[in-house]
Amino acid sequence: MEIEKLIVKYLVGCLSKEEDQTLKKWLQEDESHQLFFHEVCSNKNFLAAYRQYNQGNLKSRKAFHKVWSTLHKDDVDSLKQRKIKLFHYWQRIACSLLILFLFVGGGYFFYDSSRIIPGESKAFLTLEDGSARQLKKSGQEHWIYIGNTPIAKEYDGMIVYHITNESPDITYQLNTLSVPRGGEFRLTLSDGTKIHLNSESELRYPVSFKGQENRMVELKGEAYFEIAKDSLHPFKVITQGLLIQQLGTVFNVKSRAEGKVEVALVEGSIGIYPRSQEMQTILPGQLAVWNESKNILSVENKELLSHTAWHFNRFVFYDESLGHLMEELALWYNVDIDFLDESLKKLHFTGSLYRYDDIAVILNAIEETVNVDFKISGLRIKIDRKNK
């Protein structure tokens, strides 16, 4: 069956345009296909072993084969449901084929990337009085106070709001969580809504929604929302003048470029209110794009993995321009990008990459697929055409 080969080629970043279209069509045919594809792409043990294997030494190859062998074992008790059986069957085939591709695929190119590290959990929390504190991932728990009242607990790269002794003065105060380049952070609002903020993003929200008719937040940048259900109090996101409203659902909002907002709906339904226009309803599996200069909100059915993969610790690119791809890497790795040939920005790449990989692994995957050379100098990456 050719589809297994396409999945493997996707993982190593070498799909052709025609193969990419075939894979997309297969993903849309059945929910079980999407389930399998997502599980293979997000299997941490498998991906870690693959990265070690790709470095080419004997110890790393043994580590990869150990995981591969584990994936081949059938746990009878866990294979009672048809979809789970299907997943394990395809996963074993994909792992076997990946070994073949790695043997044939060639070497591993190293870059002087010692100073470039992936993003990490870090942010700045600013209270309404202007006081600010730095947040970062640690093994310790810390309470955050307004006056003598504890409002939230910070731990393990996230902040969770939980107010036991509310007062009107505290309830309506606004907090601002700002995530810099090379960072990410998670928070849980007082109503239980979970939000994952991407690099160079900012969220403004009340300490508590108690007593408020609407649950409203303001976003700059990109965030993945999992809204706590509350049929009496709609949840609203405002970004660049666009209003997104729902009661309980899962969606991603990207609002980086001035005058452009992308909303990818994973679960539930939402209403979007463009400026001076009536609400448009968006359904699961649809991508809504607001273009302010044209005053148009376009909606289309689309494979959303490339828009939500960052939340699951991956970069997924479907026929993406190298210019946009490098913008994403620049934000996450906090580096500067120089295209020595501007036309290279228009080259396209398809692939799935682990978000916490050494940047050398990612650059190698791109270089093997796209006709470019990367040169790293400190925290700057220069991109030129091969054999120039």
pLDDT in tens, 38-56: 666 655 455 555 444 444 4
Q: Say which residue, 78 or 310, is predicted with more confidence.
A: 310
pLDDT in the model for residue 83? 43
- Region class of 220: left (phi > 0), else alpha (psi between -120 and 50), else beta: beta
Cα gap 374→383, rounded to integer Å: 5
- Distance, CA of 242 to CA of 248 (rounded, Å): 19
pLDDT at residue 43, as a whole number = 53
pLDDT > 70? residue 215: yes
- Tell me which residue has tokens 């008719």: 213
Residue 58 has pLDDT above 70, yes or no: no
> HEC string of 341-353?
CHHHHHCEEEEEE
Torsion angle, CA of 255/323/315/96, rounded to 10 degrees? 160
> Could you report the per-residue pLDDT of 153-186, keeping only the tens digit for each?
999 889 999 876 656 567 778 999 999 999 999 9
Give the pLDDT score at 73. Answer: 45
Q: How much is the pLDDT for 200?
A: 96
The residue-averaged pLDDT of 331-349 equals 94
* Confidence tier at 294 by pLDDT (50, 70, 90): confident
pLDDT digits (tens, 9 = 90+) for 93-143: 444 444 444 433 433 444 566 678 999 999 999 998 899 999 988 878 889
Predicted pLDDT of residue 67: 46
Give the pLDDT of residue 311: 95
Q: State the pLDDT confidence band at 12, using cuts at 50, 70 and 90.
A: low
Compute the radius of gyration of the chain from its Cα atoms: 22
- The reported pLDDT for the residue numbered 275 is 74
Q: What is the pLDDT of residue 335?
A: 95
> Which one has a higher pLDDT value, 42 or 144?
144
Looking at the chain, the whole-number percentage of residues with pLDDT higher than 90 is: 45
pTM above 0.75, yes or no: no
> What average pLDDT does range 57-70 have in this prediction?
49
Give 43 or 76, the one with higher predicted confidence: 43
Polymer length in residues for the chain? 388
Rounded to an integer, what distance in angstroms lies between the CA atom of residue 97 and that of residue 4? 8
Main-chain phi, psi angles of 200, to 5 degrees: 50, 55
Could you list the beta-strand ranges (E) of 181-241: 183-188, 194-197, 201-206, 215-226, 235-239
User: Greater confidence, 386 or 239?
Assistant: 239
Q: What is the mean pLDDT of residues 354-376?
A: 88
* pLDDT computed for residue 278 by the predictor: 84
Which of the two residues, 8 and 333, has the higher pLDDT score? 333
Q: Alpha-carbon distance 211 to 213, whole Å?
A: 7
Span between the terminal Cα atoms of the chain, in Å: 40
Please report which helix (H) or strand (E) contains residue 151, including its range: strand 149-155
**CB neighbour list of residue 354: distance below 8 Å, 6 or more residues apart:** 47, 51, 313, 314, 315, 361
Separation in Å, CA 171 to CA 93, 151, 238, 259:
54, 9, 20, 32
Say yes or no to pLDDT of 309 above 80: yes
- Asked whether the predicted pLDDT for residue 88 surpasses 80, the reply is no
Question: What tokens does 200 get?
Answer: 């160079």
Is the pLDDT at 226 greater than 90? The verdict is: yes
Mean of pLDDT over the chain: 80
Cα gap 55→257, rounded to integer Å = 37
**What's the rounded mean pLDDT across residues 331-359?**
92
Q: For the chain, what percent of residues have pLDDT higher than 70?
A: 73
Out of 56-65, 163-172, 333-342, least confident range? 56-65
Say what the pLDDT of residue 369 is: 82
* Statement: residue 10 has pLDDT above 90: no
Q: Is the pLDDT of residue 305 over 50?
A: yes
- State the pLDDT at residue 16: 67
Does residue 194 have a pLDDT over 50? yes
Q: How far apart, in Å, are the Cα atoms of 297 and each of 145, 176, 240?
A: 41, 28, 13
pLDDT value at 333 more than 90: yes
Angle, helices 82-105/44-53, rounded to nearest 10 degrees:
10
Q: Report pLDDT for 8.
A: 63
Distance separating alpha carbons of residues 383 and 375, to the nearest angstrom: 7
Let me know the angle formed at the C-alpha of 65 by 59 and 68, rounded to the nearest 5 degrees.
150
Q: What average pLDDT does range 231-240 have in this prediction?
A: 93
